[in-house]
Amino acid sequence: MCLGVPGRVEEILENDRARVDVSGNSLEISIRLTPEVKVGQYVLIHAGFAMQIVDEAWAKETLGLLEELRQYAQL
């Protein structure tokens, strides 16, 4: 099983790259598989690649659930 994490595209860079925000962390990823993505959209990220563009509501819900898991892990 693979885990993909949603992130918001903050900036489109050169060479099929983008800077994304994942829960306040800035990452540089490849958008080679999603060249049509635009700033402000959410993408599902796996192994440094944007795998697909995802709905904002779904992305925010998923990030909330991941945060909830993180909090339970600290108990």
Each domain of the chain, given as residue ranges in start order, spans: 5-73
pLDDT per residue, tens digit, the chain (75 aa), is 578 999 999 999 999 999 999 999 999 999 999 999 999 999 999 999 999 999 999 999 999 999 999 888 887
3-state SS of 7-27 is EEEEEEECCCEEEEEECCEEE
Q: Domain 5-73 - what CATH class? A: mainly beta
Give the model's pLDDT for residue 73.
83
